[in-house]
Structure 1
Amino acid sequence: MVAFTKFFNTVLLAVLYASSSSALTVPTNSKHATHRVREIANGAKIETYHPESTYETFNTGIDHPLRKRGASLKEASESFISSHLKVAPSSVLHHSGFAGEVATHSYAKQVINGIPVANAVANVAFNSDDLVVALGSSFVKPTKVAATTPSVSLEDAKTTAESALDAAFLDEVEPTIEYFIKEDHSAVLVHVFQVRNEEKGLWYNAFVDAQTNTLVSVTDYVAKATYRVLPIQKETLLEGFEDVADPQDTVASPNGWHSDGTTNSTTTSGNNAISYKSSQSTGTAAETSAGVYSYIQNPAQAPTVTANVKAAIVNNFYLVNSIHDITYRYGFTEAAFNFQNNNFGKGGKGNDRVTSSIQDSAGSNNADFSTPPDGQSGHMRMYIFTSTSPNRDGALENDVPVHENTHGVTNRMTGGGTGACLQSTEAGGMGEGWSDAMADWTEKNSSAVPDYVMGQYIINSAAGIRTHPYSTSKTVNPLTYASVGTLNEVHNIGEVWANLLHNVYAALVGAHGWAADAKTNPDGTAGNVVYLHLFLDALALQPCNPTFLTARNAWLQADVNRYSGANRCLLWKAFASRGLGVNAANHKDNADIPSDC
């Protein structure tokens, strides 16, 4: 969700939207890392709990028990997790994984009495030598375990969840029986199923106690040819529309943007996305002539006039596809749980293109993105902003749709495609930060790294919608890691992470230069290429519900995996410059860097 800190006095509750030593375990004592207060129906609130994650990185890698036996990813990961965490083999269950360019990733759940645990998970990464380079875990030793047989029927559990969440049971997703770890580390048996209220933009995975029929927790999935568009490197329509010919990257989208390999479209729909107003079946923008989507937007008229609606739809379709193609090039592929209807036999689950509702009637002055598990479509809602006359359309400020689409990337790549691993307050805040940072990256058009301001056009303010511009200047933006300890709202926390990444980007571009073709060529050595590789590589490496510390360590390990640690000292200096040094902990700043840096 975008949220608007500077302009609006009331910010809508944001919902969901990712070393030199041989091993580094990072503790934290903050509830930011384990809890999140969720506002549900009728003003009620529920505090969700996520067991604390440990995270270790292993530089160039350590051996695992089955390395010399040619074991499958499932066998190797389950064996390593079992041996390293000293738990029984029967308590580890691999549920997803994929092979990236420089690392192979496995994601697992803890199992108790043959039943998977919903919120106790692990992830392990292997390098090209089949050595383990990272392990994240939130496995627990339960203090008490409920019986394995439900005494509450699924129908009764549905009624409880539907009433509490103001949403209806989603028939197309099979319900399951799992354990759920509560804050006292007791394991309760739960019915797990999805409920959704599309009109109100509500979409949850509900966990209802199968013995007491009470709502225990939720996963919130919502984060709040030739085309006339705003090229993705531009931020607002004030910079001018252009007719962009054939922008699709056929490496990422082999059949273009209007075909899934079987069905061809002459509307703003295709394999990766569909953008529409009011209805997916009737609301897409028709082409003006063969292959040309050139609607003239008139900013002097209301956004709801026909030409302006169609211009917004076309611009959104262009942006969602562009982010698909860019992130695909850098690792967000079918096997890595991306959004496509047809996965062309390359892994992952299909039938999940992004659906984008433009000028959605459910709200105003905001935007959001829902990220259910791989195999279910991500859903973007763009709203009209009402602070100006005429009103303005969020779909026509590029950083807003890019921000929202990036929630889908970070939620899918963290935790193995579940959409459930950026749920704590700190992790949710970082989700907001990654989204701002991606918008920042897409709009760079030279090696210069000027201050970056989010959301200027939609509220007609040069100050934008954040508390500070993103900047390398501590005078312009004084936020540091310690700021997180004073913040509770996810967008405010996200500003700290986004500003940290702005400084990492500046350091990499300063050292390695800038490449104009980075959006389509991931093979270069320029700093903006290196940055986006580390950005996406680290998402797959980091643990479920990462913290600033574990996410930092994932960036450092990603650099070892891809660049043999060539940027290690540069990264440490950039992180330390904003308080995230070697000895940073518990939201207290530290500027230390490794002694050899």
Structure 2
Amino acid sequence: MRRTVLSFLALILLTLSSFVTSNNPLSGHRRNFGPKLHHRKYEAPSIINEGTLSDFSTEDPLEIAIKFVSTKLHPTADFVIKDSYKSDHNGVTHIYFKQIVNGLFVSNGDLNVNVDQFGRVISYGDSFYVPNPTIREQNLRPDEKPNLGNVFDDSQYVFALESFARFINKEIAHPEDIKTIEHSTFDDGHHVLLLSNVPFALSDVKMSQEYIQMDDRSLRFVWDIQIEMEDNWYNAQLDAHTGKVVSLIDWVSDAAYNVFPFGTNDPSDGDRKLLLDPHDILASPNGWHTQGKKNFNNTIGNNVYAHENLRG
């Protein structure tokens, strides 16, 4: 098992969100779509009635979480730790994992474990890929670490970028003007390609080769593309062989949150629900990801519903 601690904040709302399927993704207003992952699960037993998922421990919370994943959930999986932090108000440490297969990230293979101040696992969310024994994988890259010499071959990334440009009704008239920088983001060798001079992008386009798990629990070899535009901020996965868009998230246009809705006081009192664009259009007319003229891929601004709760 490979373990690497990464130093960037996890985009929790995005990794845990379900996707909303559009009947016509080429219409003027594109809805987010992609695999629904029916095997995803969230376990948060009532501590009073059912106890916790592990016993008391004095070990470091990261080691507790790693041991829990490696022994109880996915003994054969490779992963990295994307992020971890401790909540000051209750002492719970939150650890976020990203799955790796054949040296590549699984874009929707995420897992989080929550460890309380007594070293007990109290809840977890899991969307890791588990092979479907009835499917013979046909769309995988060779079982080897990515090699910059072939992973970022010009014809491959240009094909993927032009395919996505056509999908959003844009044109790249002079692809030869696009400049690229190969960037190794993490200690585990995950490589990202930064593209500048893309005509309709406001900043460098980020591209990397990953897997995405489909609803039949197969893996699809894809290009992951992140592109910031004037009115949209897309994160898409395109089939690396065909250029077809298999998953799309617009971090600005639409927002789907897999959350505990108002009225649910505690995770043990109810289930998460998928809420689409739940922002108040009067208080936040541009949603929760825009401040001024700048778009963000995390929630930002005055998005708090605050009220007195003197009795707890």
Shorter-chain-normalised TM-score: which range? 0.5 to 0.7
Question: Aligned with 1:219: secondary structure?
Answer: strand
Give the RMSD, CA atoms, in angstroms: 3.8
- 1:157 touches 1:213 (CA, 8 Å); kept in 2? yes
CA, structure 1 residues 63+37, in 2 after alignment: closer, same or farther (shift >3 Å)?
same
CA, structure 1 residues 132+195, in 2 after alignment: closer, same or farther (shift >3 Å)?
same
The answer for the alignment partner of 2:53 in structure 1 is 62
Q: How does 1:314-463 map to 2 (within 5 A)?
A: 399-403=280-284, 407-408=288-289, 441=305
For residues 164 and 241 of structure 2, the distance between their equivalents in structure 1, rounded to whole angstroms, comes to 14
CA, structure 1 residues 205+63, in 2 after alignment: closer, same or farther (shift >3 Å)?
same
CA, structure 1 residues 112+142, in 2 after alignment: closer, same or farther (shift >3 Å)?
same
CA, structure 1 residues 179+59, in 2 after alignment: closer, same or farther (shift >3 Å)?
same
Larger radius of gyration, structure 1 or 2? 1
For residues 159 and 64 of structure 2, the distance between their equivalents in structure 1, rounded to whole angstroms, comes to 40
| Residue 21 of structure 2 corresponds to residue 36 of structure 1 | yes
The answer for the alignment partner of 1:165 in structure 2 is 168
Question: Aligned with 2:281: secondary structure?
Answer: helix
For residues 84 and 404 of structure 1, the distance between their equivalents in structure 2, rounded to whole angstroms, comes to 44
CA positional deviation for 1:37 = 2.0
CA, structure 1 residues 169+183, in 2 after alignment: closer, same or farther (shift >3 Å)?
farther
Amino acid at match of 2:140: A
For residues 131 and 203 of structure 2, the distance between their equivalents in structure 1, rounded to whole angstroms, comes to 32
- 1:193 touches 1:207 (CA, 8 Å); kept in 2? yes
| Residue 38 of structure 2 corresponds to residue 48 of structure 1 | no
Question: Aligned with 1:62: secondary structure?
Answer: coil
The answer for the alignment partner of 1:206 in structure 2 is 236
- 2:20 touches 2:31 (CA, 8 Å); kept in 1? no
Q: 2:74 aligns with which of 86, 93, 114?
A: 86
CA, structure 1 residues 419+218, in 2 after alignment: closer, same or farther (shift >3 Å)?
farther
Amino acid at match of 2:120: L
Q: In the comparison of the two structures, how many residue pairs are matched?
A: 216
For residues 407 and 126 of structure 1, the distance between their equivalents in structure 2, rounded to whole angstroms, comes to 29
- 1:64 touches 1:76 (CA, 8 Å); kept in 2? no
Structure with the higher fraction of residues in strand conformation: 2
Percent of pairs identical after alignment? Answer: 22
| Residue 218 of structure 2 corresponds to residue 186 of structure 1 | yes
For residues 24 and 86 of structure 2, the distance between their equivalents in structure 1, rounded to whole angstroms, comes to 37
CA positional deviation for 1:142 = 2.9
Gaps of 5+ in 1: 1-17, 19-31, 225-367, 370-379, 381-398, 410-416, 421-434, 443-514, 519-523, 531-597
Q: 2:102 aligns with which of 107, 113, 132?
A: 113
Amino acid at match of 1:400: I
CA positional deviation for 1:118 = 0.5
Amino acid at match of 1:192: D
Amino acid at match of 1:114: G
Structure with the higher fraction of residues in helix conformation: 1
CA positional deviation for 1:54 = 0.8
- 2:19 touches 2:32 (CA, 8 Å); kept in 1? no
CA positional deviation for 1:207 = 0.8
Gaps of 5+ in 2: 1-12, 171-199, 255-276, 291-295
CA positional deviation for 1:170 = 5.8
CA positional deviation for 1:123 = 1.2
Q: Deviations over 1:280-334 (max 9, x none)?
A: xxxxxxxxxxxxxxxxxxxxxxxxxxxxxxxxxxxxxxxxxxxxxxxxxxxxxxx
- 1:78 touches 1:92 (CA, 8 Å); kept in 2? no
For residues 217 and 81 of structure 1, the distance between their equivalents in structure 2, rounded to whole angstroms, comes to 27
- 2:84 touches 2:93 (CA, 8 Å); kept in 1? yes
